[in-house]
Structure formats: C-alpha cells, structure tokens
A and B are shown apart, each in its own frame.
Chain A
Amino acid sequence: MDAPVADRATDRGPAYRRRLLRLLATATFFNGYDGFVLPFVLSLILADLGGSQAEAGLVNFVALSGSIVAFFLAAQADRIGRRRLLLITITGYTLATILTAVSVNLAMLTVAQFVAQVFLGSEWAVAVTIVVEEFPTNDRGRGLGILIAMLTLGGILVGILAFAGLASTPLSWRAFYLVGLIPLAVVAILRRRMHETARYSAVRAADNDGVLNHTNLLEPWRPQYRRNLLAVGLLHFFRYMVIAAAVFWWPYYAQQEVGMSVSLSGLYLAIGGLLGALGFVVGGRLMDRWGRRPSFILYTASSGFLGAILFQVHSALVMLPFLCMAIFFGLGAGCMTSAFATEYFPTYVRSRAAAWCRNAFEIPGGMLGPFVVGLLGDHRTGPIGSIGDAMTALFIATVVPVTLIAVLYIKETRGLHLETLDEAVVA
C-alpha cells in the first residue's frame, strides 16, 4: 500500500527509529523491572521495616492504585507532547525508586511506591503511543512487539539478580531499587537525541485555529470515538482480569496445590517468561503479516484453552510446556491490544484514549481478577477452596466475552495510515 504524502513527510528514517526503539526499550525494560521488584522483595521489606502479611497486602494495594491515578498523567501527552511526558515519567519513576530505596518505614515506602506506579503507568502508555506514531504501518507490529517484550524481560532481571545473590548483600532489598537508577542515563540521552513525534507536531501545526480539544479527559468519549473506546476498553478489562490473576496466582498454585518447591517454580517462571517475551515478538510480526484482529483471536483462544488446562495440571513435569505456551499466547496478545488502544484514534486524542483503555479499564480488571480468584479459591474460607479451579473458571468466564468482542466489534487496522484519521478530524 502506498503511503500518503503526510506519511512519507513524517518518516525520519530507519536509523532514527532504531535509536528511538533502543531508548524506549531501555526505559520500558526498567519499567518492567520496577514493576516486579515489590512483590519479589516484599517479605524482605517486612522483615526489615516490620509489618504483617495484612500490611503487605495493603502496601501492594495502595501501590497498585497508583496505576489508576496514572490515567491523569498519561492523558497529558496530548496536551504537552509525547517527548516531554516521557522525560517527566522516566525522571519521576527513577526518583520515586530512589525514595523507595531509602525508606525508613513502611508508610514512606508505600507512598514512594504509589508515586512510582503513577509514573510507571504513564511511561508505558506514552512509549506505546510514540512507537505507533513513529513507525511506518508495515513495521508497527514489530516495534510494539519488541517494546512490550521488554516489560517481561525487565521482570526476569529481578529473578536473575535475586538468583545472583543481590538480596544477600549488605543493602539487601534496597539494592534492587538502586539498580533502578540506570534509567536516569536514558533520560540524559533522550533529552538530546529524541524529537517530538512527527505526527503530534504535524497535528499541532495543522490545528492553527484551535479546533481540536487537546485537554479534555472526556474527549475520547465523543460520539465519533466512544464505541471503539468501549469495545477496546472492555477487551482490555476482561483480558487483563484473567492475565493478572494468572500471573499473580500461578506461583501459589504451583507451590501449594502442586507441591513444587519455590526454587523450581522460580525456574519454571524464568523459562516461561523468556518464551513469553518471544510471544510478543512473534505476535508483533503476525500483526503486520496477518492483521491485528486474526492474530489477537488466535492468541486469545489459545491462551484461554492453555490457561484453563494449566491450572488443572498437577504434575510438575507436565506443567512446564503448558506454562510456556500459556505465557507465550497470554502475554503475547498484549502487543495487539496496545495497537487497538492507539491505532483506532486520531493523533490529537490518542494518548487520552490509550490512557482510558490502559488505566481506566485494564488496571481495574487487573486488580479485580486476582481478588476474585483469591476470594473464591481461598483454602480456608473460599467457596471453591482451590485456586486452580477458581483460575480455570475465570479463564472460561473471560475468554468467551473477549473473543466475542474481538469478532463482533474490533475492526482491522493493519495497513491503516494514521494520517487518514488526522486529516478527517482536522478537515
């Protein structure tokens, strides 16, 4: 398909895109790293700063709620620009990470982690928007796949550092947070070598009369966009509800219901995570080749089937291939949902639409899923009394509506030139 004139005019070339992707990937890698540190070192923190399991749950809940508040910051990318917001978020989460590392009590740590989550949630949304806007139509899926794989790889680094004995150093859990200083170097480079996205600049320049509303948070709910926003939002909600629950409860299931050791389940998770990262990259390629919608339906159906079986497997040997494939398809679908959340919407409202999908639909789904499974599957008080059965039930209950929404309401955006959307709204 020939690119429109605007598409060619906004193309800064492959060398710039490679450099940009390296920088965004590094920032996203540490986003993934920081997101995984807290659950990993929470027990060490409690032992050091004092606190019960109930307080640990509260710390985690308050910190996660920062991801919802991130909505207000992420939406600012349509007002102040993608580049500026990216710099703010990376600086913000690095500073919050430093604050976490020097926390003297649980309250200080909770506040620092809440602030960190606000910036981490925003960084993710703006990084996806930048890739969508700077990459040509036939290469966008690959860019998104690589970017999103970095989230998982960042999480794996936490496990590697733990395996290497970082927790046994005199700094204990604080050492994990000090590693999070590295993104400051990325900021130093970004400031000089990264430009505002060409599409954002072009839309800002074209909107001389100020016809477009760049500030109203409810702009994505205008009649032109709201149907797409709702469809993509519901997709995010149901999908992430089960993905977050599976990620949260699998170690518990493996250890308490299958009888695996902590070390073996950690090893399985590392192997599955590496393959999961491959799922993003393959998914990104498939998106460009087959299209977003068929790739998403394939990934969703596969992850639902494999996930439901995974939580019924009671043999450690049989568990590994199912775990790897479930992670491959389950997490891999993330690059397609990221495309849906951005490619449907014109540039002037794209970041706010992505923020709605991510922070207002996906994150609440991610908080509700683990809660419901814990409530139903609790070994002491849950009506089901089995985390494995509760997880399988959740897979069944959510994969069906996700697939239905994708089939009925999601339109294909492969080959779509974003300029056609921008020209329609500016005209």
Chain B
Amino acid sequence: MKHAGLFLVLALTWTVLGGCAGTDRPEGVVERWLIALNQGAAGRPGQYAPEALSERVLPGWASKDPGELDVIEVGKGSVPRIEMAPPALVPFRVVRLDGTTIQGTAALVPRASGWQVSTLRGRLPGLAVPSEGGDRIGSGGIGLWLAAFGAAALCSLLAVGLMAAFGRPQPVTPR
C-alpha cells in the first residue's frame, strides 16, 4: 500500500516534470498563432507573429468574429540547431470560411521568449501537413505504449492496494 502510493507520487512527478521540461517546438508556436488569429477580437496573435503576417492570413482579423478559419493544420517542420541560425520551417494549411485555402511554410527564428514567426514562404519540398502525407508534429513510439501499460499496472496495483487496506466486505452488502 505504502509502495503503491509512492509509485503514484513518482509517476505524477514524472508526468508533471516531463510536461514542464524544456521542449519548445516551433510547430506548436505556429499552431498557437493560427488559433489566436481564429479567436478574432479576443485573440492575441501578436505574441507569436508580426501584425503584417497575421493580416496576410486573415485580413481584418481583429474585427472578425471567432471561427473565421474553418481548418487549421500544422505539420512537422524542419528544425535546425539553434546555434546554426537558419530559421525553423513549419508547413501549415488554413481554410477560411469563404473557402479560400492558404498553404505555405512559416519560418521561425528563436527569440528570448521562444520561437517567433518571422516570414511566410510558399510550399517547400519535403514539408507537408499530415492530411497531405506529411508527418505529425509529435509521436510517442514504442516507449510510450510500454509506459502506458506500466501506468495501467501501477493504477491497478494502487486500486488493489487501497481495497486491501479497507478490509473484508461487511455484512450490509448486496449479494
């Protein structure tokens, strides 16, 4: 019982620390930028990209209702080592409610606060969104599935341990 509790605390700590680890994917920044743009007046796309780029994707976004972009899709990009300086390139696709499709590549540069969209380019070879055969932003792999089964075993042990700690069934129980 004591051990089950300890395992659970360790697992939760691992999860939280893992979530807080220093991962910063440029693909996530592009996605947040487009989602913020899609919030209309409530959005703050300026955190991720200059105003001029936001206007290119959704002209007059600040005065629009939320939901003007019907599709927002971001694919796995090409991320360089930061010290090598070239921008990260991330493929994206948006479809406005009027049916206009914008497909291209966002170039991002590292800033003190994280990645920032600096320019927009056309489609580049080798970079595509998942619906067009490109790779997904992230993927767990075999390690994730093993961890999931490990977590299942841990949760099962915890449940069994707790039930054992609460003793045998008492008289007033259904058959």
Contacts and interface: CB of A to CB of B under 8 A. Distances in A.
A161 interface: no
B172 to A, nearest CB: 4
Nearest to A49: B42
Contact of B152 (A43, A50, A378, A400): A400
Contact of A262 (B21, B31, B67, B139): B67
Contacts of A398: 152, 155
B18 A383 contact: yes
B21 A400 contact: no
Contacts of B21: 381, 383
A343 B174 contact: yes
Contacts of A227: 163, 166-170, 173
Interface in B43-94: 43-44, 65-67, 70-74, 93
A367 interface: no
A401 B155 contact: yes
Given A382-B138, A393-B147, A424-B171, A255 B71 contact: yes
Contact of A396 (B95, B129, B152, B162): B152
Interface in B14-32: 15-16, 18-21, 23-25, 27-29, 31-32
A379 B148 contact: no
A175 interface: no
B151 to A, nearest CB: 4
Nearest to A234: B159
A46 B67 CA distance: 13
Contact of A238 (B42, B129, B155, B166): B155
Contact of B170 (A56, A224, A343, A411): A224
Contacts of A413: 174
B174 A379 contact: no
Contact of B173 (A377, A378, A411): A411
B31 to A, nearest CB: 5
B10 interface: no
A379 B163 contact: no
B136 A257 contact: yes
Nearest to B25: A380
B175 A224 contact: no
B9 interface: no
A56 B162 CA distance: 37
B24 to A, nearest CB: 6
Contacts of A378: 19, 28
Interface in B124-175: 129-131, 136-140, 144-145, 147-149, 151-153, 155-156, 158-160, 162-163, 166-175
Contacts of A228: 169, 173
Interface in A232-272: 234, 238, 255-263
A412 interface: yes
B42 A51 contact: yes
A393 to B, nearest CB: 4
Contact of B19 (A231, A258, A376, A388): A376
A81 interface: no
Contact of A385 (B15, B40, B66, B139): B139
A399 B172 CA distance: 29
A384 B74 CA distance: 16
Among all A-B residue pairs, the 10 with the closest Cβ atoms:
A385-B138, A380-B28, A259-B131, A375-B19, A46-B42, A400-B152, A43-B66, A393-B148, A397-B151, A379-B28
Given A397-B151, A400-B153, 7 more contacts: A47-B66, A227-B170, A261-B70, A385-B138, A389-B138, A393-B144, A404-B156
Interface of A: 43-44, 46-47, 50-53, 56, 223-228, 230-231, 234, 238, 255-263, 314, 343-344, 346, 372, 375-386, 388-390, 392-394, 396-401, 404-405, 408-409, 411-413, 416, 421, 424-425
